Structure 1
Amino acid sequence: MEPKKSKFNNSFLKYSTYIISIGGFLFGYDTGVINGALAFMSKPDQLNLTPGLQGVVSSSLVLGAFFGALGCGRIADKFGRKQTLRWIAALFTSSTILCALSMNFLFMSFFRFALGLSVGAASSLSPMYLAEISPEPVRTINVNKNAIFIVLGQLSAFCMNAFLGNIWGNWNPIWRIMIVSASIPAIILWINSFHIVGSPHWLLLKKRFKKARKLFSKLGFEKSTFDGIEQESKTKSKKDDDISWKSILKKPSLVYLLISGILIALIQQISGVNTVMYYGTILMEKVGMGQSGSLYANILIGLVSFVASIFGTRLIARFDHHRMLLISLFGNILFLALLGLVLRLSLFTQTITNALVLIFLALFLASHQGIVSPVTWLIMSEMFPGKIKARFMSIATATTWITNFIISLIYPLLISAVGTAVVFFIFAASNGVSALLSIFVLNAKEIQRAYRKNDLMSQESN
């Protein structure tokens, strides 16, 4: 058993896995850095942002991510996963620098939208790319690395914000340094993207069987596995490889898979987690923690999320994904409801209230970032058949971003209208809806397995 284990831990696969996961790190860093930077850029002598404009600046990245995720599938299918990742890294770098140089609200919103294109594309490409280069025994572990790197990116952004905000907090343009710091990992991703492995599955789609066979072998796939995939690819016609949307919509089981992917994406976002990621500093200032305390509190929350993601992904690898998802959604409901009660009832002193808010926020994020988020990314990366995987993955990922955009845009206005406590109650209820939606997708994985064996294809053609 030891030789087999070492084969799946070869340095070639490991190196590629960590480099591809930097896309997840940038996803986390660029969505988390606004948390601390927003308060500084909102000051009158900077971009002078009202609550409404704060929502536009924050959500402009998310809107860009929607279009980035939606268009990534076609580009990745045409030019390959490796080349697409390289372009994403270049866009990450240039748009990050331009955001840091923005002189007014309009420029910031535009360049944040451009940055969002790369964030959305990375969020769609990275888990799919990792799944395609990973043999079955390590696939879950490797895809989960992307989820861990997302949280690590958010934690790194929170640490950088706190460090810069507390040392140079009296210098209001410090937000520009916070934002431009994200260009460093983007440059690292671009440089290393020239040396990683391509996707053998993409090579099969392009009928490059000899090169695909060598790559499957180098990555540690069992010979019987790539023999079967290669034979199936050779027997398919050109028409089979290019399934039109009209053909897809005529197959009820494919439509079910697509709807299931969209619902999984909704489950991930309507929890309200990204309102804490984007507006955590402003939220905790409203609770009464102050600017310095709020920045440090974000580090604690980010650290809890990161540790939870490490342990959570190990649990996911051992237990049923759907069951773990349901348990964590009920945890979300409990912790958000307790947050709402603490703020609504006002039974405690300010110090105790601050401590309880931190504890319940940390537990909520541990539940979501430790289980819900990695489970949903993992399910989406595994549930779609190979020849339509990139397109379906793009739509599912785009759904996460358009939902995120709507919530991020209205959150500052919602807080101003109904108060923080009521907003937490609303998100507790939305997690209840997520638990109900997750029942719908229970059989999606079984349908996907049947498609691998061509069972349903033959049934529907009869």
Structure 2
Amino acid sequence: MVDTRPTAPTTALPPVGTGPHRRRLGLLALVATFGGLLFGYDTGVVNGALLPMKQELGLTNVTEGVVTSSLLFGAALGAVLGGRIADGWGRRKTILVLAVLFFVGTVACVAAPTFGVIVVGRVLLGLAVGGASTVVPVFLAELAPYEIRGSLSGRNELMIVIGQLAAFLVNAAIGTLWGEGDGVWRVMLAVCALPAIALFVGMLRVPESPRWLASKGRDAEALAVLRQVRSDERAEAELADIRRSTTVAPDEPRESGWRTLLGNRWLVRIVLVGAGLGVAQQLTGINSIMYYGQTVLIESGFEASAALIANIAPGVIAVVGGVVAIRNMERIDRRTTLVLGFSLTTVCHFLIGTASVLLPAGNPARPWVILVLVVAFVGSMQTFLNIATWVVLSEIFPMQIRALGMGIAVFCLWTANALLGLSFPSLVAATGITGTFFGFGVVGLLALAFIWRFVPESRGRTLEQVEEGVTTGDVGAVATAGRRGH
């Protein structure tokens, strides 16, 4: 097992300090995380829209899974494309393109007359969701000072669960007002156009990532951006650190992309670790609850209308857990958080499976016990696992392949998500809640072993330090001064 303790910057940086630059940093992060809000709404809205859509379009269990998973397969492709484009075009331009794609995909879904058109619209939304899930965390990590990088980068995942909660609330409100009449699901989907417009307008006034600018030799522009979100002294010192990490010999041009990745076994290793972490996070089944929560609650014994309202509870606990997670990102090591998260979610899986055995269908306590356990699972996931996963993925890849490495890891994450989304209705129909959640529990045990063995620690280290460790294979290099600035 690698030594995973964090190291300190080789050169002490001036403190981040307070003032207008901190407020500016918070504002830029807020605008960028509208991409996370769209991610959350688009993945969560299908939870309540699926039943009326199924009735109007005549969907079967198979085509229902296709509608849900089409966005997810699109997201897998969007993750890789978004990462590659962001390395070439820059983070800001890529996010602007994604905002347009969110809007176009929404319009296509709302106007869809048939199953085929809704699938095309969902794929377009998936491309945008996947791109946002890759590029926004990278942009935030590159913009943030290392002392608060975890809590700042983690805001994107918080916005994702806020978007999912917003979808659940909108679904419940529209479902209550309009009932299950024709077109109610179109209204649910149309709401997504509003944050897409807000993301596009907001990003027009957001600067490019300073680290991306420095990697392209545009140091003056990088310094100007850093001065917007740091004190002058800190901005100059931080740029000097970034320059050291991007300096190469005159006869060794700095390459990026697949050639660089495949030419270094340590880079291949860290990409595989990132991909494994992403897949493990998805195989907890969290997004099955977010997509099919109403279906699970109906299977546990709730009426359809009651399940639509009860489904808000997991959304609320997800936001509460996200807020707690943000507060803990700079207090608890990343690995510790991940181990806690997988331990708690695995326990919840086995408890849900056990409850479904001990409380057979028809038992009045069954739906409420399973609801409580589902809420406990979602709370554990959001408090200890989801935000930590996305923060770690945004931190562990070197600058030359950061968006590409993130894209590959998120591609694997979304592929696992898509396959689970495609098969979940059939899985529940075949094995019920019992078999489904016992299966998630077994996967959780395997994930714990993987995290313990392979995932490095990145808290308290600059991105340049993490890069140095990863590219040399010394990911656990230690300097005892690492905590002095905290």
Q: Which TM bucket (shorter chain)?
A: over 0.9
Sequence identity (%) = 31
Describe the SS at the equivalent of 2:57. coil
Which amino acid is the alignment partner of residue 49 of structure 1? L
Describe the SS at the equivalent of 1:318. coil
Is contact 1:256–1:444 with CA below 8 Å preserved after alignment?
no
Which amino acid is the alignment partner of residue 135 of structure 1? P
Correspondence for 1:417: 430
Kindly state the Cα deviation for residue 389 of structure 1 after the two structures are TM-superposed: 0.7
Q: TM-score, normalised by structure 1?
A: 0.93
Is contact 1:39–1:282 with CA below 8 Å preserved after alignment?
no
Output the CA distance in 2 between the equivalents of 1:20 and 1:242: 28
Correspondence for 1:359: 372
Which amino acid is the alignment partner of residue 96 of structure 1? T
Is contact 2:300–2:361 with CA below 8 Å preserved after alignment?
no
Kindly state the Cα deviation for residue 443 of structure 1 after the two structures are TM-superposed: 3.5
CA change 1:256–1:16 in 2 (3 A) is: same
- 2:472 is equivalent to residue 456 of structure 1: yes
Output the CA distance in 2 between the equivalents of 1:238 and 1:118: 39
Correspondence for 2:332: 319
Of residues 268, 288, 306 in structure 2, which corresponds to 1:275? 288
- 2:48 is equivalent to residue 31 of structure 1: no
Of residues 135, 160, 165 in structure 2, which corresponds to 1:150? 160
Describe the SS at the equivalent of 1:207. coil
Which amino acid is the alignment partner of residue 456 of structure 1? T
Output the CA distance in 1 between the equivalents of 2:361 and 2:120: 43
Describe the SS at the equivalent of 1:230. helix
Kindly state the Cα deviation for residue 289 of structure 1 after the two structures are TM-superposed: 1.0
Describe the SS at the equivalent of 2:205. coil
Kindly state the Cα deviation for residue 47 of structure 1 after the two structures are TM-superposed: 0.6
Output the CA distance in 1 between the equivalents of 2:20 and 2:452: 34
What is the correspondence of 1:12-411 to structure 2 with a 5 Å cutoff? 12-43=24-55, 46-220=56-230, 222=234, 223-235=236-248, 237=250, 239-243=252-256, 245-346=258-359, 350-411=363-424
Q: Which runs of 5+ in 2 are unaligned?
A: 1-14, 475-486
CA offsets 1:293-342 (integer angstroms, 9 cap, x no match):
11111111100111011112222320111111111111111111111111
Kindly state the Cα deviation for residue 129 of structure 1 after the two structures are TM-superposed: 0.4
Q: TM-score, normalised by structure 2?
A: 0.89
Output the CA distance in 2 between the equivalents of 1:5 and 1:293: 50
Is contact 2:257–2:400 with CA below 8 Å preserved after alignment?
no
Output the CA distance in 2 between the equivalents of 1:78 and 1:247: 14
Kindly state the Cα deviation for residue 457 of structure 1 after the two structures are TM-superposed: 8.5
Q: How many residues align?
A: 454
Output the CA distance in 2 between the equivalents of 1:428 and 1:99: 35
Describe the SS at the equivalent of 1:319. coil
Output the CA distance in 2 between the equivalents of 1:268 and 1:26: 20
Kindly state the Cα deviation for residue 189 of structure 1 after the two structures are TM-superposed: 0.7
CA offsets 1:135-162 (integer angstroms, 9 cap, x no match):
1222111101101101100000000000
Backbone CA RMSD of aligned residues: 2.2
**Deviation larger for 26-35 or 444-453:** 444-453
Correspondence for 2:480: none
CA offsets 1:194-248 (integer angstroms, 9 cap, x no match):
0112111111122111111121222216232211222443545585421453453
CA offsets 1:251-287 (integer angstroms, 9 cap, x no match):
2222211111111111211101111110111221222
Output the CA distance in 1 between the equivalents of 2:370 and 2:78: 35
Is contact 1:383–1:448 with CA below 8 Å preserved after alignment?
no
Is contact 2:333–2:457 with CA below 8 Å preserved after alignment?
no
Output the CA distance in 2 between the equivalents of 1:261 and 1:441: 10
Output the CA distance in 1 between the equivalents of 2:239 and 2:181: 58
CA offsets 1:1-44 (integer angstroms, 9 cap, x no match):
xx95314863321111001011111111100000000011011x
Kindly state the Cα deviation for residue 450 of structure 1 after the two structures are TM-superposed: 6.1
